[in-house]
Amino acid sequence: MLKYFNISRLKESFVREELIFILDMIISVGASIILILGGELVMPQVFQSFNVVLTYLLASIVASFAFFLLLKTYKIIIRHLGVKDIIPFALASIFKGILLLLVFIVGYGYNNWYLFVSVIDFLITFFLLLGIRIAMILVYNTLVQKRSEEFKRQRVLVYGTADKSVAVIKRLQTSPHYRIVGFIERSDRHAKMLLDQHPVFNFDDDKTLRRIISEYSIDSILFSKDTDAQHESDGLIEFCINNKVKTLIVPEVDEVVEGQALLRPRAIKVEDLLGRKEIQISLNEIKAYFSDKVVMVTGAAGSIGSELVRQLATFGVAKIVLYDNAETPMHNLRLELEDKYKNLSFVPIIGDVRQKPRLDYAFRTHRPQVVFHAAAYKHVPLMEENPCEAVLVNVYGTRNVADKCLEYCVDRMVMISTDKAVNPTNIMGCTKRLAEIYVQSLGLAIENGQIEGKTIFVTTRFGNVLGSNGSVIPRFRDQIAKGGPVTVTHKDITRYFMTIPEACRLVMEAATMSSGNQIFVFDMGEPIKIDQLARRMISLAGFIPDKDIKIKYSGLRPGEKLYEEVLANDENTIPSFHNRIRIAKVREYNYDFSQKVVSRLEDLARKVEIPEVISIMKEIVPEYHSEVY
């Protein structure tokens, strides 16, 4: 009802002078009538005859008309009534009382009762005039506030009629931000039906959609599941983008913090449209494995490391040791954990994986049982320009962490690797492959009894993660916010993508289920063209690609591939315990050999002997082919 209430008409009615004048006359004469009716009971000697009553009423009408007209009280805008505006009403009421007294005296002689009646008439008239105005202002403000609140609430249609869609309506029915108008779906099985007292609208073309949205003043379409959004990526969502209708989505399980769902829907992001079928994992087994354990995460303040920490925080771990050399990100992570996970025991340690004494302190002091090694240099162009630093962090640093795991009898070490380690064409990918070689050879040496130890070493490989530090999506988002241009390296470049929470869940699964010394490869789905990704992000932001926001092709950077390797297929992997996780078939290396190689690389890297470093890398990883070195 309020949605269609016209406030502008209400404002006009408040300022129309004729209506205000008539209203004041009714109030003033009404005050006199009230006094007559009451006076017949308490002071019958005043209104003892019809002539007195008639004279009194006529005098009230004349006095009210004259003084309201003279003092122009009808010109005072009610909703802007101030203290100074009270004076004309007080004067009109006083003059009316004085005129009534004079009429009594002239017609019937002076009487104290006539003076009393005149004073009471003044008081009733004044307070009624003022009271009615205050009441009108309160009513007006209430209506305006409700109307304003209604305008702020987005009128929403919920996509689909599944149980989750109905649950969304129940959740948002008292929301100050959204007003659910009904459901919308392509199927006509619920045509002209009410679902939870809300109508179900059906559409099969843009014309029908346009009519529904226009007729019911729809502001937004709300998706309850990301799979629905992905299904309508080129349909309903494309229509909404082109017709300036907002698209919203209910946060998924990934966006639940300490069991508390993020109740308020958010705008659909490109990440929501790139997902694949939800990967099922053994969550109960994972929780049982990590419960009451001390877990250490290197690179804890990074994209992957921090998400691992967030997920571990919900598993009932005894303590999490956060190890990272980035001070500000570590500080921010600490504040987040203190705010969201108040019962979590965690220790932030500023340290570098290249520093053995600092690593030793962390292991010696906190005795972790499980270590996730996510610390790494990962930006391809930077590592092409700084190969020795890539070796020291990604290879030597990994050896330090693995050796400390062995020394302090850690149950399990999980190394986070990359798809770029497969047939590497860049320094970063090759250093990660060398790190894999060392970790796997150490695990095999333990398994074969060459060296004593109990640590199980697990390596996980996956491609780009959506939203990670330095990935294309945050960069594109920043460029769009600045008005462009959006820079794409090549029109045909493709990449595999996975969400950070999804990748971390698979890492947890691999860590829990692995028997050791395996390199697990995650199914990354279908490759995505970066050019199309950029265009979709521009459209979702409400702009037209190449018109509002330009796309600029900058060319491939040093070490970049046009197409990433297919990570998981029958030729390079074998099945595992999970249909979305496979085991890489790789050449195995002797531990003594890999140890000597890493030591030699470390020595050369510290001396910044770049040609010698590259030569050894190509010798050990023969599949490494670089256009730069």
Residue 456 placed within a domain? yes
- For residues 21 and 141, state if they share a domain: yes
| CATH number of the domain bearing residue 238 | 3.40.50.720
Of 102, 128, 151, at which residue does a domain stop? 151
In a shared domain, residues 590 and 454: yes
Mean pLDDT by 10 residues, the chain (629 residues): 40 59 79 71 61 74 77 66 71 77 74 74 80 78 61 78 78 76 79 76 86 87 82 84 84 47 69 64 84 96 92 93 96 94 94 96 97 94 94 97 96 92 91 96 93 93 70 83 90 80 84 83 78 86 86 82 63 72 85 95 96 94 84
* End position of a domain, from candidates 229, 244, 268: 268
| Number of Cα atoms under 13 Å in the Cβ half of residue 375 | 31
Are residues 95 and 50 part of one domain?
A: yes
The pLDDT value given to residue 191: 67
**pLDDT value, residue 207:** 87
Statement to judge: residues 306 and 407 lie in one domain: yes
pLDDT value at residue 253 = 47
Together in a domain, 297 and 406: yes
- Token pair 């010394």 in the structure block, residue: 517
Domain total for the chain? 3
Residue 615 forms part of a structural domain: yes
In a domain, 326, yes or no: yes
Cα distances (angstroms) measured from residue 484 to each of 267, 529, 530, 616: 21, 19, 16, 42
In the chain, the N- to C-terminal Cα span, in Å, equals 72
| Pair (421, 455) in one structural domain | yes
Please give the sequence-ordered ranges of beta strands (E in DSSP) within 497-553, or none if there are none.
497-499, 518-522, 528-529, 551-553
pTM above 0.75, yes or no: no
- The pLDDT of residue 109 is 72
Which domain does 138 fall in, by range?
A: 2-151
Let me know: does 184 contact 169? Beta carbons within 8 Å: no
CB atoms closer than 10 angstroms to residue 367: 14
Based on the fold, state whether residues 126 and 256 are members of the same structural domain.
Answer: no
Q: Is residue 233 part of a domain?
A: yes
Query: Is 542 inside a domain boundary?
Result: no
Q: Is residue 555 part of a domain?
A: no
**Do 203 and 334 lie in a common domain?**
no
482: in domain = no
Report pLDDT for 256: 42
Residue 315 and residue 226: Cα distance in Å, rounded? 25
For residue 23, the surrounding DSSP H or E stretch is helix 17-42
Whose CA is closest to 530, among 484, 577, 574, 497? 497
